[in-house]
Every structure is written in structure tokens, then in C-alpha cells.
């Protein structure tokens, strides 16, 4: 779905509200940008990607989607001021909060900052190719159980390896790779975080621990997470294709002032 169509969908109909679900409840976006980026260095989110920093793509998509009523970016302490400058010209309420040592600590900081929201849409800032359609379908899917995650079926053969030797070949039937966005009722996700301090690589596993069913909706194979230099090259090609199809907001329609402040 083109970005413009997703925004029209969010705004059309008597029961649909900008920045809210179909019942008028506030939807907050939480973008995670506090990771250590051990494989590429802590500055990967600020690398130039088609004229914008990597992190700016997901920020702009969330802000322009018409689905998000509040945007919270969880940043590394040393990048908080820079992040606030990047957010200054957005048309929705924004906040920058400091992240924690672990991913789950950063998510919780964002959830606690979204105190007025009924729903939170959690997204990794290192996934710049998120689209308004992915956000919209996540909010819709979460209405059933209070939790929904984007995911794609595994297409590679998966092997369990021990000491550099194949120990087992797993049946990939029914195996999906989870992505973000992940959408939750705020109260549910907060309760999942309060239940245990165990580490977790995604929030769905914490919610599963409550016995709550997590809906899976179709993600996108192009919704990649940038972890290596090769991913930057691929992301650049994918963005060029998505811009041509009007699936993303082009940089020329985004504030030049915001791009300059990010440098």
C-alpha cells in the first residue's frame, strides 16, 4: 500500500481517528535507538541513507503515517540532544528518553513514558524500511488479543550447530522470523515487563510468559535490520525501489531543517 493511501486509510471513516485506534484510543510509537551496535559501531543509526540518517527514516514514517498520536524515541544518553533536534519539526507530540543497558530496559523506559497511550507500537530504529502499511496492519491485528508482531516465514534451512559441527537440521515448517513493528496494549506490555527481569530479545516472549496469545501478521522481507555494512547497501537499493512505488515518504518532502539538525 502506498504511503499516501495508508495515511488516507488512517484518516477516513467516522470511527477512525488520527493517531488513534478505531475506538479513539491513543496510539504511541516507541522507536528504539539506544543499542550498542557492536557489529557496526554505535553511530550506525546516524549514517547517511538516501539523504537522511538511518534513524530518521523510521521516525519520519511513524510521524507521517497518521496512525501515531505520540512518538517516543529511546536514545543513548550521549545522543539525546542530537535526537531532540531531529524531532523538533514533527507535527505530533514527541519525547526522547534515555535507554538502558539491555533492549528490554529501553523498551520499558519507552512504555513508561507513554503514560497516556492505550496502545504502543514498538519498533527498532535500525529497521528504516518500515511502512505506514506495516504499522496500520499491526494496530489492526493487535485488537484481537492485545498483542501482534510482524513476522515472515523462514525460507533458509536452519541447522543447530555445536562446536562448529551440525548437530541437528530443524524442520522449518511453522518457523517464522519476527520483526518490528510489534504492537501491544500498553498495560499488557508493562505487566509483562513487571512480571520478570529476565532478558529478552523481543517483547513478544515476555507477553507470552503471561499466557497471552500473540497474533502474527505478515511482515516484509525487505523490512531488514541494519547490522552490517552490506545491509546499508541493500537498504539503499530497497529504499530507492520503495520511493519509486510511493511506499515511503521521499526526502524532498521532509524538512531540510530536520536533516541539517541531524548532522
User: What pLDDT sits at residue 1?
Assistant: 46
Write the CB contacts of 95 (distance below 8 Å, at least 6 apart in sequence): 70, 71, 72, 73, 113
- Measured in whole angstroms, how far is the alpha carbon of residue 1 from the centre of its chain? 18
Using a 10 angstrom Cβ sphere, with 0-12 exposed, 13-18 middle and 19 or more buried, the burial of residue 229 is exposed
The tens-digit pLDDT sequence of the chain (263 residues) is: 444 444 444 433 334 455 766 678 899 999 999 976 656 555 889 999 988 999 999 999 999 899 999 999 999 999 999 999 999 888 899 999 999 999 999 999 999 999 999 999 999 999 999 999 999 999 999 999 999 999 999 999 999 999 999 999 999 999 999 999 999 999 999 999 999 999 998 999 999 999 999 999 999 999 999 999 899 999 999 988 888 887 666 655 554 444 444 45
CA-based torsion, 146, 152, 158, 161: positive or negative: negative
Q: Please give the order of strands across the beta sheet that includes 94-98.
A: 94-98, 70-75, 27-33, 119-124, 176-185, 147-153, 215-218
Kindly list the distances between the CA atom of residue 204 and the CA atoms of 28, 216, 253, in Å, as whole numbers in the listed order: 17, 10, 35
Q: What pLDDT sits at residue 43?
A: 84
For residue 241 the three cell numbers come to: 525501489
Please name every residue paired with 158 in a beta bridge, in sequence order, or none if there are none.
Answer: 170
What is the chain's alpha carbon radius of gyration, rounded to the nearest angstrom? 18
Element (H, E) at 44: none
How do the domains of the chain map onto residue ranges? 3-251
Instruction: Report the C-alpha gap between 250 and 4 in whole angstroms.
Output: 11
pLDDT, residue 193, reads: 97
* CB of 222 closer than 8 Å to CB of 131: no
Asked if residues 159 and 166 have their Cβ atoms less than 8 Å apart, the reply is yes
* Helix (H) and strand (E) counts in the chain: 9, 11
Pick the CATH number of 3-251 from 3.40.50.300, 3.90.550.10, 3.20.20.105, 3.40.50.170: 3.90.550.10
Q: What is the pTM of this model?
A: 0.86
C-alpha cell at 8: 488516507
Cell of 198: 529476565
Amino acid at each position: 500500500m502506498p504511503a499516501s493511501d495508508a495515511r488516507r486509510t488512517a484518516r477516513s471513516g467516522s470511527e477512525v481517528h488520527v493517531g488513534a485506534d478505531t475506538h479513539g484510543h491513543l496510539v504511541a510509537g516507541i522507536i528504539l535507538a539506544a543499542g550498542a551496535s557492536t557489529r557496526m559501531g554505535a553511530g550506525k543509526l546516524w549514517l547517511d541513507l538516501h539523504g537522511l540518517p538511518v534513524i530518521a527514516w523510521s521516525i519520519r514514517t511513524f510521524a507521517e503515517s497518521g496512525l501515531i498520536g505520540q512518538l517516543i524515541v529511546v536514545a543513548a544518553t550521549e545522543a539525546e540532544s542530537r535526537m531532540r533536534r531531529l524531532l523538533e519539526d514533527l507535527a505530533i507530540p514527541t519525547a526522547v528518553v534515555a535507554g538502558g543497558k539491555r533492549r528490554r530496559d529501553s523498551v520499558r523506559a519507552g512504555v513508561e513514558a507513554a503514560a497516556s497511550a492505550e496502545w504502543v507500537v514498538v519498533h527498532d530504529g535500525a529497521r528504516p524500511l518500515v511502512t505506514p502499511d506495516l504499522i496500520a496492519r499491526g494496530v489492526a491485528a493487535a485488537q484481537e488479543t492485545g498483542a501482534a508482531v510482524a513476522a515472515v516465514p523462514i525460507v533458509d534451512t536452519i541447522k543447530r550447530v555445536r562446536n562448529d559441527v551440525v548437530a541437528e537440521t530443524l524442520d522449518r515448517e511453522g518457523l517464522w522470523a519476527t520483526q518490528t513493528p510489534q504492537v501491544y496494549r500498553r498495560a499488557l506490555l508493562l505487566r509483562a515487563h513487571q512480571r520478570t527481569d529476565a532478558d529478552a530479545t523481543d517483547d513478544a516472549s515476555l507477553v507470552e510468559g503471561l499466557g497471552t496469545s500473540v497474533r502474527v501478521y505478515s511482515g516484509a522481507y525487505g523490512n531488514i535490520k541494519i547490522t552490517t555494512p552490506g545491509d546499508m547497501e541493500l537498504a539503499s537499493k530497497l529504499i530507492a525501489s520503495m520511493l519509486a512505488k510511493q511506499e515511503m515518504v521521499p526526502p524532498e518532502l521532509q524538512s531540510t531543517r530536520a536533516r541539517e539538525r541531524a548532522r
